Chains A and B, each alone.
Chain A
Amino acid sequence: MKTKKFFILWAILLTIFISTSRVEAQKKDISSQVTLANEFYHEKNYQAAADIFEKLIDQGETNGFLYYNLGNTYMRLGNTGRAILNYLRAQLLLPRNENLDANLRYAINQTQDQLSPSRGGLIPSLLFWVDSISLIEHFDILILFNIIFWCICIGSLYYRKPLWKSLKKISMAILLLAFFSTGIKYYLLSEHKIGVIMDKKVDVKSDRNTQNVTLFELHEGAIIAVNQEDSEWAHISVNSDKSGWIPIESIDY
């Protein structure tokens, strides 16, 4: 029996050690890849830098600065559409980064249509902080206020004083607000899709067919809201008053 327990303990420790060293090795590899890509960028070998950043993203690495650097690399390569797309992706993870905002504005100014991302309706306007806080930060705040609320609940049960009851009500209101705000953020990210035009020029049609009337034209880098999509066509809108259908391969999001 003792030998069996000893064996199991060693197996667990070995698994933890192997997985930890694998994670550490992976981290080191990512860091070296990023350093290499940044060096390529500084050496003006932008295509090589873009390839490394893209490869890291394909591997599942999600990081705002990774998207930001990729956006810069595409700007250098003259691919404004891809640059704006990556700046927008970076903005979801780094919503308060001023350098990113400045570069996105610059990139938008380089486009023919100069369309800025839309805010998405009344509720996001009322919950003005939603855009400035990322989804992960929202969840962190929610967890923090959840812990605070339940701690206050325990305190209120133990001390049974009016001050604790007031604290309980306040913390509950904040927790509900955090919960609502997180829900809205999650909904906006999953439902309110923002896309970018990748082709030099796209005709926006009145329906899903090239024979239909061209309502207006959009150009590379134009930021649009994607409302509906199928295998070939996507229904898009611009500035909430213009909408139509475009081939799905013309956009990316």
Chain B
Amino acid sequence: MQNIPKKKLQSWLIVPAILIFIFIPVTSFSSNIQLSASVDKNQLTIEDSIELSIKISGVRNPPIPKLPPLTDFKVRSTGTQSSTQIFNSDMQVSTTHKYLLTPKIEGNFIIGPVIMNLSGSNYQSDPIMVTINKANPIKPNENRSVYTETSVSKKTPYINEQVVYTFTLFRKTEARNLNLSMPYDESFFRKENLGKAKRYSRVINGIAYDVDEVSIALFPIKIGESTIPPSIMELDLIHRTQTNRRRDPFSRFFNDPFFGGVTQNKHKILSTKSIKLNIQPLPKKGKPNGFKNFVGQFSITATVGKESFDAGDTTTLTITVSGIGNVMDVSLINLNLGDQFKIYPDQPIFTKSIHGNQIGGEKIFKFALVPFTTGRQTISSISLNYFDPDKKKYNTISTNPISLTIKPGTGTENLNLVQSGVAPTQQNGSTVSILARDILPIHTRVEDFKSVTFDKNQRIMYMTGILIPILIYLIAAGYIRYNHKMNEDKSYSRRQVAHRKAMKKLDQLSVSNPESKDFVRKLSQIIREYIGDKLNLQGTAFTSKEVGEKLNKNTFADDKIFAIKKLLEKFESMQYMPVVADKDHRLIDETAELLINLEK
């Protein structure tokens, strides 16, 4: 038993000791600290990358060494490894920091010394010389594991014509950490994305490739020659190598892709060729007046919200321009509908859509129209000019004219929107010119200015509106159910009306002659009928003794049964008396009292 505290004390000492041993930088038992830097290769192409390993031995948990300036490389840390080895009771510890260096340019470079400061002493590695060569030229029909291509839909597009620029990655092996950069000259092009990358398989010269394809739409905004710079794809290729497990009985199991076998990552940077484009101006021949550089294939439609309405009221004119090309650039700011309407333009809404491998969409323009005059008005057709690059000609598309009927209104305030240049009598003519746009008048119907506050009283009213119907339903449901039961269940209805019926008969009896023998018989009959109704018994021909037996089987209390029996016996005996006297209605009161007691 005394060993337990000792053991506890030991564990309390051992645990912090282990933690200190692990985390605090401690000079190795050999006390020979070394820092070395190495690369996996020093001759490579611009498409490859170097793995720089910095090994620190002789110290546990050393500080992270300082890398030299590596401006010509992209540097990425790929992790840290620690190892402990024991040779003949001599413990050797080492830590290796790994970095992936991706060259930005070709040439000869020196990776400077890596420096580490430990307890005031500086340790440094030797410099490393590396040579970055040009990428190997791609030979036709070469069996490559990965390669890229770029293409454009047209090399001599017109200004504002959509050019689809496509980047394609062909690979035979698995790839991870894909990072694509597709630069373009922003002063020459406007870019629109064409959705997510497509992934499919393709067989080239009998070899199956997995293909990843990314497209963007470029709209040239300047005339002249321009170059799309090379696209750069950075990725890690995964090479799975099978180890010599064939003799192993479990080899088939471990060769399962789930266990992955042995994988080897190879970082690659693939660059495509630049593409030259020659952007053409639109042909001058046939160019319509006021042409606004819409290039593609378009269509136009127009609809109105209502075709018949009162003067002073508004209708909404909706113009929809859809198609392929620079639909997003279409504008109808200065819509000319003659001088018949006051026009309030709304913000246009553009919805992008992809048609095959091209960008298009739908742009909706809404205008609130307020007619100046009453009668039949026509919204003349609205035209749009565009250049079709496929047919190499200009097209004009138009909407159909729309007829409107404007009824005389009841408004009192003048709009003051226009000022006639001529006499007022000629206002219905076409000589009225719009001088300015303005807001619609204020509301003047005083009755409409009733306050609509959502205050406490209003809330109470709404709560009442919610709860009262539920309360009415509960009351009605109770009443309906009671009625249904009274109609359908005879015993229930007899039981329910028994007391009322008996009391009514007692009332009737109180006005009859109390001295007749029939009076006592009738009193006895009322009690028997009451018991018959309560117990759903047929007939009333039972004696006071039988009443006691029947009631015993049911739920009346013993004292109540005794009171009934006693009263019935009393009535039975009184029937044989020569004179019955109940001038003070004592017998009736006694019976009524009994019935009330039985109901309790």
Contact = CB atoms under 8 A, between A and B. Distances in A.
Interface of A: 27, 30-31, 34-35, 38, 41-42, 60-66, 68-69, 72-73, 75, 93, 98-99, 101-103, 105-109, 114, 116, 135-136, 139, 142-143, 146-147, 149-151, 153-154, 157-158
A139 B345 contact: no
Contacts, number: 108
A165 to B, nearest CB: 15
Interface string B405-446: 000000001000000000000000000000001111111111
Nearest to A73: B442
B584 to A, nearest CB: 35
Contacts of A154: 472-473, 476-477, 480
Nearest to B312: A99
Given A31-B446, A150-B473, 7 more contacts: A30-B449, A61-B451, A63-B449, A99-B443, A105-B345, A135-B454, A154-B473
Interface string B452-468: 11100010001001100
Interface string B59-97: 000000000000000000000000000000000000000
A38 B443 CA distance: 8
B442 A41 contact: yes
A106 B437 contact: yes
B446 A35 contact: yes
21 contacts: A60-B453, A62-B452, A63-B451, A65-B445, A65-B449, A72-B441, A72-B442, A98-B313, A98-B368, A99-B440, A99-B441, A101-B314, A101-B368, A102-B440, A106-B439, A136-B454, A136-B458, A143-B465, A150-B473, A154-B472, A158-B480
B462 A143 contact: yes
Given A68-B442, A102-B440, A154-B477, A146 B466 contact: yes
The 10 closest A-B pairs by CB, nearest first: A150-B469, A143-B465, A65-B443, A99-B440, A69-B442, A102-B368, A150-B473, A103-B439, A62-B453, A154-B476
B289 to A, nearest CB: 27
Nearest to B346: A105
Given A102-B368, A139-B462, A38 B314 contact: no
B473 A63 contact: no
B446 A64 contact: no
Kindly name the residue among B449, B452, B481 whose own CB sees the greatest number of chain A CB atoms within 10 A: B449
Contact of B452 (A63, A107, A109, A149): A63
A31 B451 CA distance: 11
* Chain B, interface residues (CB within 8 Å), range: 35 or more
Contacts of A27: 450
Nearest to B472: A150
Nearest to A68: B443
A73 B441 CA distance: 10
Is chain A's binding surface mostly helix, strand, loop or mixed?
helix
B563 interface: no
B439 A114 contact: no
Given A72-B439, A93-B452, A157-B476, A146 B368 contact: no
Contacts of B440: 99, 102-103
Contacts of B413: 42
Contacts of B439: 72, 75, 102-103, 106-107
Nearest to A72: B442
Contacts of B472: 150, 154
Nearest to B459: A139
Given A68-B443, A103-B440, A30 B368 contact: no
B443 A153 contact: no
Contacts of A101: 314, 368
A69 B437 CA distance: 18
A105 B452 contact: no
B465 A38 contact: no
A153 B477 CA distance: 9
Given A38-B442, A103-B439, A143 B449 contact: no
Nearest to A107: B439
B296 to A, nearest CB: 26
A66 B445 CA distance: 11
B248 interface: no
B155 to A, nearest CB: 35
Contacts of B345: 105, 109
Contact of A108 (B347, B443, B469, B477): B347
Given A102-B370, A143-B462, A34 B476 contact: no
Given A72-B442, A98-B314, A146-B465, A114 B347 contact: yes
B142 interface: no
B197 interface: no
Given A98-B314, A106-B437, A30 B347 contact: no
Contacts of B458: 136
Contacts of B346: 105, 116
Contacts of B438: 106
Contacts of A114: 347
Nearest to A65: B443
B470 interface: yes
A61 to B, nearest CB: 5
B451 A34 contact: no
Interface in B471-504: 472-473, 476-477, 480-481
A127 B475 CA distance: 35
Contacts of A64: 452
Given A41-B442, A158-B480, A147 B465 contact: yes
Nearest to B483: A158
Nearest to B444: A38
Contacts of A63: 448-452
A153 B473 contact: yes
Contacts of A103: 439-440
A101 B314 CA distance: 10
Contacts of B184: none
Interface in B333-351: 344-347
Contacts of B441: 72, 99
Contacts of B466: 142-143, 146
Contacts of A105: 344-346, 368
A66 B466 CA distance: 30
Interface in B363-405: 368, 370
Contacts of A38: 442, 444
A99 B448 CA distance: 15
Nearest to B445: A65
Contacts of B442: 38, 41, 68-69, 72-73
Nearest to B370: A102
A60 B476 CA distance: 41
A43 to B, nearest CB: 12
A62 B451 CA distance: 5
B327 to A, nearest CB: 19
